[in-house]
Amino acid sequence: MKLLHTADWHIGQTFYEYDRTFEHEQFLIWLIDVIKTNDIDLLLISGDVFDVSNPSAASIKLFYTFLKNVIAASPQLQIIITAGNHDSASRLEAPKPLLASSNIHIVGLVTQNEGIIDYEKLVIPLKDKENNTIAWCLAVPFLRNGDYPEVTDAESPYTEGVAELYKQIYTYTNNIKQPGQAIIAMGHLHTSGASVSEKDKSERVILGGTELIDANAFNENIIYTALGHIHRPQKVGGKEHIRYSGSPIPMSFSEHNYNHQVVMVTIEGDELKQIAALPIPVTVSLKRIPATYKPLSEVKKLLSELNEVIDDKNLWPYIEVRVLLDEPQPALRHEIETVLENKHVRLATIISATPKSSEDEQETNSINQLSDLNPLDVFKKVYQSKYKTETPEVFIKLFNEVVQEIHLKEE
Protein backbone atom coordinates (compact mmCIF):
# COMPACT_ATOMS: atom_id res chain seq x y z
CA MET A 1 0.00 0.00 0.00
CA LYS A 2 1.19 3.49 -0.89
CA LEU A 3 -0.14 6.45 1.04
CA LEU A 4 0.34 10.16 0.54
CA HIS A 5 0.36 12.47 3.58
CA THR A 6 -0.54 16.14 3.29
CA ALA A 7 -2.12 18.77 5.55
CA ASP A 8 -2.73 22.46 6.16
CA TRP A 9 -4.05 23.46 2.74
CA HIS A 10 -5.82 26.55 4.10
CA ILE A 11 -7.97 26.89 0.99
CA GLY A 12 -9.48 30.37 0.85
CA GLN A 13 -6.57 32.16 2.49
CA THR A 14 -6.03 35.72 1.36
CA PHE A 15 -2.43 36.84 1.47
CA TYR A 16 -2.33 40.52 2.44
CA GLU A 17 -5.68 40.85 0.62
CA TYR A 18 -4.44 38.97 -2.47
CA ASP A 19 -6.56 35.99 -3.51
CA ARG A 20 -4.61 32.69 -3.64
CA THR A 21 -7.07 30.54 -5.57
CA PHE A 22 -4.66 30.21 -8.49
CA GLU A 23 -1.89 28.85 -6.25
CA HIS A 24 -4.21 26.30 -4.66
CA GLU A 25 -5.50 25.25 -8.08
CA GLN A 26 -1.96 24.62 -9.29
CA PHE A 27 -1.12 22.59 -6.19
CA LEU A 28 -4.23 20.43 -6.56
CA ILE A 29 -3.56 19.80 -10.26
CA TRP A 30 -0.02 18.74 -9.35
CA LEU A 31 -1.33 16.55 -6.49
CA ILE A 32 -3.73 14.66 -8.77
CA ASP A 33 -0.85 13.97 -11.17
CA VAL A 34 1.38 12.71 -8.32
CA ILE A 35 -1.37 10.40 -7.05
CA LYS A 36 -1.98 8.96 -10.51
CA THR A 37 1.70 8.66 -11.49
CA ASN A 38 2.70 6.93 -8.26
CA ASP A 39 -0.41 4.72 -8.09
CA ILE A 40 -1.27 6.01 -4.61
CA ASP A 41 -3.81 3.92 -2.67
CA LEU A 42 -4.55 6.29 0.20
CA LEU A 43 -4.55 10.08 0.58
CA LEU A 44 -4.42 11.49 4.10
CA ILE A 45 -5.33 15.16 4.68
CA SER A 46 -4.51 15.92 8.31
CA GLY A 47 -6.59 19.00 9.02
CA ASP A 48 -6.98 22.66 8.09
CA VAL A 49 -8.48 21.98 4.69
CA PHE A 50 -9.92 25.51 4.78
CA ASP A 51 -8.45 28.69 6.19
CA VAL A 52 -11.62 29.75 8.01
CA SER A 53 -14.48 27.89 9.65
CA ASN A 54 -17.01 29.43 7.25
CA PRO A 55 -15.31 29.15 3.85
CA SER A 56 -16.61 30.91 0.77
CA ALA A 57 -18.63 29.13 -1.89
CA ALA A 58 -15.62 29.40 -4.21
CA SER A 59 -13.37 27.65 -1.66
CA ILE A 60 -15.87 24.85 -1.11
CA LYS A 61 -16.27 24.42 -4.87
CA LEU A 62 -12.49 24.21 -5.33
CA PHE A 63 -12.20 21.49 -2.69
CA TYR A 64 -15.04 19.30 -3.94
CA THR A 65 -13.96 19.76 -7.55
CA PHE A 66 -10.59 18.36 -6.50
CA LEU A 67 -12.26 15.36 -4.85
CA LYS A 68 -14.29 14.67 -7.99
CA ASN A 69 -11.28 15.02 -10.28
CA VAL A 70 -8.89 12.93 -8.19
CA ILE A 71 -11.36 10.05 -7.93
CA ALA A 72 -11.94 10.24 -11.68
CA ALA A 73 -8.18 10.07 -12.27
CA SER A 74 -7.55 7.34 -9.65
CA PRO A 75 -10.76 5.37 -9.00
CA GLN A 76 -9.03 3.02 -6.55
CA LEU A 77 -8.02 5.89 -4.26
CA GLN A 78 -9.19 5.97 -0.66
CA ILE A 79 -9.21 9.40 1.03
CA ILE A 80 -9.33 10.23 4.73
CA ILE A 81 -9.82 13.85 5.78
CA THR A 82 -9.72 15.10 9.37
CA ALA A 83 -10.68 18.53 10.67
CA GLY A 84 -8.09 21.00 11.91
CA ASN A 85 -8.45 23.92 14.28
CA HIS A 86 -9.23 26.25 11.34
CA ASP A 87 -12.03 24.01 10.06
CA SER A 88 -15.61 23.83 11.22
CA ALA A 89 -15.81 20.17 12.24
CA SER A 90 -19.56 19.90 11.70
CA ARG A 91 -19.52 21.79 8.39
CA LEU A 92 -16.68 19.62 7.10
CA GLU A 93 -18.59 16.47 8.03
CA ALA A 94 -21.91 17.61 6.48
CA PRO A 95 -21.49 15.84 3.10
CA LYS A 96 -20.10 12.68 4.72
CA PRO A 97 -23.02 10.38 3.71
CA LEU A 98 -22.65 11.34 0.05
CA LEU A 99 -18.87 10.90 -0.02
CA ALA A 100 -18.69 7.56 1.81
CA SER A 101 -19.79 5.73 -1.34
CA SER A 102 -16.70 7.15 -3.08
CA ASN A 103 -14.27 5.84 -0.44
CA ILE A 104 -13.90 9.36 0.94
CA HIS A 105 -14.05 9.48 4.74
CA ILE A 106 -14.32 12.75 6.67
CA VAL A 107 -13.85 12.89 10.44
CA GLY A 108 -14.47 16.23 12.08
CA LEU A 109 -16.23 15.48 15.35
CA VAL A 110 -15.46 13.23 18.29
CA THR A 111 -18.80 11.78 19.39
CA GLN A 112 -19.54 10.32 22.79
CA ASN A 113 -22.29 8.21 24.31
CA GLU A 114 -22.76 8.85 28.03
CA GLY A 115 -19.15 10.01 28.29
CA ILE A 116 -17.74 7.07 26.29
CA ILE A 117 -15.92 8.04 23.10
CA ASP A 118 -17.19 6.34 19.95
CA TYR A 119 -13.88 4.99 18.67
CA GLU A 120 -15.57 3.02 15.90
CA LYS A 121 -16.26 6.31 14.11
CA LEU A 122 -12.60 7.35 14.38
CA VAL A 123 -11.12 4.07 13.09
CA ILE A 124 -11.18 3.61 9.30
CA PRO A 125 -10.42 0.24 7.66
CA LEU A 126 -8.06 0.54 4.71
CA LYS A 127 -8.80 -1.63 1.70
CA ASP A 128 -6.76 -3.10 -1.14
CA LYS A 129 -7.92 -3.25 -4.76
CA GLU A 130 -9.90 -6.42 -3.98
CA ASN A 131 -11.69 -4.63 -1.13
CA ASN A 132 -9.87 -6.64 1.56
CA THR A 133 -8.97 -4.83 4.77
CA ILE A 134 -5.17 -4.61 4.92
CA ALA A 135 -4.61 -1.86 7.49
CA TRP A 136 -6.35 0.56 9.87
CA CYS A 137 -6.24 4.33 10.28
CA LEU A 138 -6.78 6.17 13.55
CA ALA A 139 -8.44 9.24 12.03
CA VAL A 140 -8.19 11.70 14.93
CA PRO A 141 -9.21 15.32 14.20
CA PHE A 142 -8.14 18.42 16.13
CA LEU A 143 -9.20 17.80 19.72
CA ARG A 144 -11.00 20.51 21.62
CA ASN A 145 -11.75 20.58 25.33
CA GLY A 146 -14.05 17.70 26.19
CA ASP A 147 -13.10 15.61 23.14
CA TYR A 148 -10.64 13.47 25.08
CA PRO A 149 -10.86 11.24 28.19
CA GLU A 150 -10.57 12.90 31.57
CA VAL A 151 -7.46 11.82 33.42
CA THR A 152 -7.82 11.92 37.21
CA ASP A 153 -5.37 14.23 39.01
CA ALA A 154 -3.73 15.21 35.74
CA GLU A 155 -1.13 17.98 35.97
CA SER A 156 -1.88 18.91 32.35
CA PRO A 157 -5.46 17.84 31.56
CA TYR A 158 -5.15 18.52 27.83
CA THR A 159 -1.85 16.81 27.08
CA GLU A 160 -2.57 13.84 29.31
CA GLY A 161 -6.11 13.59 27.98
CA VAL A 162 -4.93 13.58 24.37
CA ALA A 163 -2.29 10.96 25.16
CA GLU A 164 -4.97 8.84 26.85
CA LEU A 165 -7.22 9.11 23.79
CA TYR A 166 -4.45 7.85 21.51
CA LYS A 167 -3.75 5.05 23.99
CA GLN A 168 -7.39 3.98 24.07
CA ILE A 169 -7.95 4.23 20.33
CA TYR A 170 -4.83 2.17 19.66
CA THR A 171 -5.99 -0.50 22.12
CA TYR A 172 -9.45 -0.54 20.50
CA THR A 173 -7.95 -0.97 17.03
CA ASN A 174 -5.35 -3.51 18.07
CA ASN A 175 -8.17 -5.68 19.44
CA ILE A 176 -10.09 -5.76 16.15
CA LYS A 177 -7.27 -5.93 13.60
CA GLN A 178 -5.97 -9.19 12.16
CA PRO A 179 -2.31 -10.32 12.25
CA GLY A 180 -0.28 -8.66 9.53
CA GLN A 181 -2.48 -5.58 9.38
CA ALA A 182 -0.75 -2.25 10.01
CA ILE A 183 -2.01 0.65 12.11
CA ILE A 184 -1.39 4.24 11.04
CA ALA A 185 -2.55 7.40 12.81
CA MET A 186 -3.53 10.96 12.01
CA GLY A 187 -3.54 14.03 14.22
CA HIS A 188 -3.81 17.79 14.10
CA LEU A 189 -1.87 19.06 17.09
CA HIS A 190 1.27 20.76 18.33
CA THR A 191 3.98 18.37 19.45
CA SER A 192 6.61 19.19 22.02
CA GLY A 193 9.79 20.45 20.38
CA ALA A 194 8.23 21.08 16.97
CA SER A 195 9.94 23.83 14.99
CA VAL A 196 7.47 26.56 14.01
CA SER A 197 7.64 29.66 11.85
CA GLU A 198 8.81 32.93 13.30
CA LYS A 199 5.86 35.12 14.25
CA ASP A 200 3.48 32.81 12.39
CA LYS A 201 -0.08 33.53 13.48
CA SER A 202 -1.48 30.57 11.55
CA GLU A 203 0.47 28.18 13.79
CA ARG A 204 -0.20 30.12 16.96
CA VAL A 205 -0.27 28.34 20.28
CA ILE A 206 -3.94 27.59 20.85
CA LEU A 207 -4.30 26.82 24.54
CA GLY A 208 -1.76 29.14 26.08
CA GLY A 209 1.17 26.74 25.72
CA THR A 210 -0.50 23.86 27.56
CA GLU A 211 -1.23 21.79 24.46
CA LEU A 212 2.23 20.45 23.57
CA ILE A 213 1.96 16.70 22.97
CA ASP A 214 4.93 14.40 23.47
CA ALA A 215 5.87 12.01 20.65
CA ASN A 216 5.50 9.15 23.14
CA ALA A 217 1.72 9.70 23.03
CA PHE A 218 1.74 7.62 19.84
CA ASN A 219 2.17 3.90 20.46
CA GLU A 220 5.48 2.57 19.13
CA ASN A 221 3.58 -0.02 17.07
CA ILE A 222 1.82 2.65 15.01
CA ILE A 223 3.95 2.38 11.90
CA TYR A 224 3.28 5.91 10.60
CA THR A 225 1.72 9.02 12.17
CA ALA A 226 0.56 11.73 9.75
CA LEU A 227 0.37 15.07 11.54
CA GLY A 228 -0.93 18.51 10.63
CA HIS A 229 -0.92 21.99 12.23
CA ILE A 230 2.78 22.88 12.01
CA HIS A 231 3.67 24.28 8.59
CA ARG A 232 7.36 23.36 8.56
CA PRO A 233 7.88 19.79 7.26
CA GLN A 234 9.69 17.81 9.93
CA LYS A 235 10.09 14.61 11.90
CA VAL A 236 8.83 14.59 15.48
CA GLY A 237 11.15 13.64 18.32
CA GLY A 238 13.73 12.49 15.78
CA LYS A 239 11.44 9.65 14.70
CA GLU A 240 11.24 8.97 10.98
CA HIS A 241 7.70 7.61 11.15
CA ILE A 242 6.09 10.54 13.00
CA ARG A 243 5.95 13.56 10.71
CA TYR A 244 4.41 16.87 9.80
CA SER A 245 4.00 17.11 6.04
CA GLY A 246 3.86 20.90 6.29
CA SER A 247 1.73 23.29 4.25
CA PRO A 248 1.72 22.97 0.44
CA ILE A 249 2.11 26.72 -0.14
CA PRO A 250 3.70 29.29 2.19
CA MET A 251 1.20 30.86 4.56
CA SER A 252 3.48 33.72 5.61
CA PHE A 253 6.81 35.27 4.66
CA SER A 254 8.41 33.32 7.49
CA GLU A 255 7.75 30.21 5.37
CA HIS A 256 9.35 31.55 2.19
CA ASN A 257 12.35 29.22 2.47
CA TYR A 258 10.49 26.05 3.49
CA ASN A 259 10.83 22.98 1.30
CA HIS A 260 7.09 22.47 0.85
CA GLN A 261 6.30 18.82 0.28
CA VAL A 262 3.96 15.88 0.58
CA VAL A 263 5.14 12.60 2.12
CA MET A 264 4.83 9.28 0.30
CA VAL A 265 4.86 6.19 2.51
CA THR A 266 5.10 2.58 1.35
CA ILE A 267 3.74 -0.18 3.62
CA GLU A 268 3.94 -3.94 3.12
CA GLY A 269 1.77 -5.93 5.51
CA ASP A 270 2.47 -4.44 8.93
CA GLU A 271 5.92 -3.15 8.00
CA LEU A 272 7.00 0.33 6.97
CA LYS A 273 9.17 -0.02 3.87
CA GLN A 274 9.88 3.50 2.67
CA ILE A 275 9.28 7.18 3.37
CA ALA A 276 9.95 9.75 0.65
CA ALA A 277 9.37 13.50 0.61
CA LEU A 278 8.06 14.80 -2.72
CA PRO A 279 8.81 18.52 -3.21
CA ILE A 280 5.91 20.70 -4.35
CA PRO A 281 6.71 23.09 -7.23
CA VAL A 282 6.58 26.75 -6.22
CA THR A 283 3.91 28.56 -8.20
CA VAL A 284 4.34 32.06 -6.77
CA SER A 285 7.52 33.03 -4.96
CA LEU A 286 7.80 35.15 -1.82
CA LYS A 287 10.64 37.66 -1.66
CA ARG A 288 12.02 39.84 1.09
CA ILE A 289 13.63 42.98 -0.33
CA PRO A 290 16.16 43.58 0.99
CA ALA A 291 17.02 40.41 2.90
CA THR A 292 18.12 42.59 5.85
CA TYR A 293 16.83 46.01 6.84
CA LYS A 294 18.43 48.92 4.96
CA PRO A 295 17.86 52.70 4.85
CA LEU A 296 15.02 53.91 2.67
CA SER A 297 17.30 55.35 -0.02
CA GLU A 298 19.01 51.98 -0.50
CA VAL A 299 15.70 50.11 -0.47
CA LYS A 300 14.23 52.38 -3.16
CA LYS A 301 17.32 51.83 -5.31
CA LEU A 302 17.01 48.03 -5.00
CA LEU A 303 13.32 48.17 -5.87
CA SER A 304 13.93 50.40 -8.87
CA GLU A 305 16.37 47.79 -10.23
CA LEU A 306 13.69 45.07 -10.37
CA ASN A 307 13.27 44.31 -14.05
CA GLU A 308 11.89 40.76 -14.35
CA VAL A 309 9.09 40.52 -16.94
CA ILE A 310 6.26 38.10 -16.07
CA ASP A 311 3.33 38.20 -18.47
CA ASP A 312 0.88 36.26 -16.28
CA LYS A 313 -0.11 38.42 -13.28
CA ASN A 314 -1.03 35.27 -11.36
CA LEU A 315 2.68 34.47 -11.25
CA TRP A 316 3.91 37.83 -10.00
CA PRO A 317 5.87 37.29 -6.76
CA TYR A 318 4.72 38.71 -3.44
CA ILE A 319 7.28 40.99 -1.82
CA GLU A 320 7.89 42.11 1.72
CA VAL A 321 9.83 45.38 1.82
CA ARG A 322 12.15 45.91 4.79
CA VAL A 323 13.18 49.45 5.68
CA LEU A 324 15.44 50.85 8.37
CA LEU A 325 14.07 54.17 9.65
CA ASP A 326 15.55 56.74 12.00
CA GLU A 327 12.31 58.70 12.14
CA PRO A 328 8.66 58.11 11.16
CA GLN A 329 7.87 58.29 7.45
CA PRO A 330 4.11 58.97 7.05
CA ALA A 331 4.38 58.72 3.25
CA LEU A 332 6.47 55.54 3.31
CA ARG A 333 3.94 53.30 1.54
CA HIS A 334 3.27 55.91 -1.14
CA GLU A 335 7.01 56.21 -1.83
CA ILE A 336 7.42 52.44 -2.09
CA GLU A 337 4.34 52.05 -4.31
CA THR A 338 5.61 54.81 -6.60
CA VAL A 339 8.94 53.02 -7.10
CA LEU A 340 7.13 49.72 -7.78
CA GLU A 341 4.77 51.19 -10.35
CA ASN A 342 4.92 49.07 -13.52
CA LYS A 343 7.07 46.43 -11.77
CA HIS A 344 5.87 42.84 -12.10
CA VAL A 345 5.54 42.20 -8.37
CA ARG A 346 2.79 42.38 -5.76
CA LEU A 347 3.55 44.51 -2.73
CA ALA A 348 2.32 42.54 0.26
CA THR A 349 3.70 44.41 3.25
CA ILE A 350 6.26 46.96 4.39
CA ILE A 351 8.12 46.21 7.62
CA SER A 352 10.08 49.01 9.24
CA ALA A 353 12.71 48.79 11.94
CA THR A 354 14.78 51.27 13.90
CA PRO A 355 18.38 51.14 15.12
CA LYS A 356 18.50 49.03 18.25
CA SER A 357 19.68 50.68 21.45
CA SER A 358 22.41 49.09 23.53
CA GLU A 359 21.50 47.47 26.82
CA ASP A 360 22.86 50.37 28.90
CA GLU A 361 20.75 52.85 26.92
CA GLN A 362 17.52 51.01 27.57
CA GLU A 363 15.37 52.63 30.21
CA THR A 364 12.83 50.70 32.23
CA ASN A 365 10.03 52.45 34.05
CA SER A 366 8.08 50.80 36.79
CA ILE A 367 4.30 51.15 36.87
CA ASN A 368 4.66 53.72 39.64
CA GLN A 369 7.11 55.76 37.58
CA LEU A 370 4.82 55.68 34.56
CA SER A 371 1.89 56.83 36.64
CA ASP A 372 3.86 59.97 37.51
CA LEU A 373 4.24 60.88 33.83
CA ASN A 374 1.68 62.64 31.68
CA PRO A 375 0.81 61.18 28.22
CA LEU A 376 3.09 63.62 26.39
CA ASP A 377 6.07 62.61 28.55
CA VAL A 378 5.43 58.95 27.80
CA PHE A 379 5.14 59.70 24.09
CA LYS A 380 8.45 61.60 24.13
CA LYS A 381 10.21 58.79 25.98
CA VAL A 382 8.94 56.15 23.55
CA TYR A 383 9.97 58.29 20.57
CA GLN A 384 13.42 58.93 22.09
CA SER A 385 13.88 55.21 22.81
CA LYS A 386 12.85 54.17 19.31
CA TYR A 387 14.47 56.83 17.14
CA LYS A 388 17.33 58.11 19.36
CA THR A 389 16.39 61.74 18.79
CA GLU A 390 14.15 64.42 20.24
CA THR A 391 10.50 64.38 19.25
CA PRO A 392 9.84 66.85 16.38
CA GLU A 393 7.47 69.70 17.19
CA VAL A 394 5.07 68.65 14.45
CA PHE A 395 4.50 65.28 16.15
CA ILE A 396 4.10 66.91 19.56
CA LYS A 397 1.43 69.19 18.10
CA LEU A 398 -0.41 66.26 16.50
CA PHE A 399 -0.20 64.22 19.70
CA ASN A 400 -1.66 67.06 21.77
CA GLU A 401 -4.52 67.41 19.28
CA VAL A 402 -5.33 63.70 19.66
CA VAL A 403 -5.21 63.90 23.46
CA GLN A 404 -7.47 66.94 23.43
CA GLU A 405 -9.95 65.18 21.13
CA ILE A 406 -10.06 62.18 23.45
CA HIS A 407 -10.76 64.42 26.46
CA LEU A 408 -13.59 66.16 24.60
CA LYS A 409 -15.21 62.80 23.77
CA GLU A 410 -14.95 61.68 27.39
CA GLU A 411 -16.69 64.85 28.51
- Number of helices followed by number of strands (H, E) in the chain: 11, 19
Among the listed residues 367, 372, 376, 364, the one whose alpha carbon sits nearest the alpha carbon of residue 404: 376
| Residue range 264-276: mean pLDDT, rounded | 96
Asked, colleague to colleague, whether 2-279 and 286-353 share their fold, the answer is: no
Q: In this structure, what are the phi and psi dihedrals at residue 189, rounded to the nearest 5 degrees?
A: -160, 175
Q: Which pLDDT does position 357 carry in this prediction?
A: 39
Q: Which pLDDT does position 201 carry in this prediction?
A: 46
Give the pLDDT band of residue 98 (cuts 50, 70, 90). Answer: confident
Give the pLDDT band of residue 410 (cuts 50, 70, 90). Answer: low
Give the pLDDT band of residue 367 (cuts 50, 70, 90). Answer: very low
Q: Which of 186-195, 356-365, 380-389 has the lowest mean pLDDT?
A: 356-365
Residue range 273-291, pLDDT digits in tens? 999 999 999 999 999 999 9
Average pLDDT along the chain: 89
Stated pTM of the model? 0.84
Indicate the domain borders of the chain: 2-279, 286-353, 359-410
Among the listed residues 381, 379, 385, the one whose alpha carbon sits nearest the alpha carbon of residue 397: 379
Residue range 159-180, pLDDT digits in tens? 999 999 999 999 999 999 999 9
Q: Which residue has the higher pLDDT, 256 or 191?
A: 191
The answer to whether 62 and 24 have CB atoms below 8 angstroms apart is yes
| Residue range 236-248: mean pLDDT, rounded | 95
How many angstroms separate the CA atoms of 89 and 83, rounded?
6
| Residue range 16-35: mean pLDDT, rounded | 97
Q: Which residue has the higher pLDDT, 409 or 172?
A: 172
Query: 2-279, what's its fold?
Result: Purple Acid Phosphatase; chain A, domain 2 (3.60.21)
Query: 286-353, what's its fold?
Result: Double Stranded RNA Binding Domain (3.30.160)
Report the b/e string of 369-398 with b at 16+ CB within 10 A. eeeeeeeeeebbeebeebbeeebeeeeeee
| Residue range 250-254: mean pLDDT, rounded | 91
* DSSP per-residue letters across 159-183: HHHHHHHHHHHHHHHHHHSPTT-EE
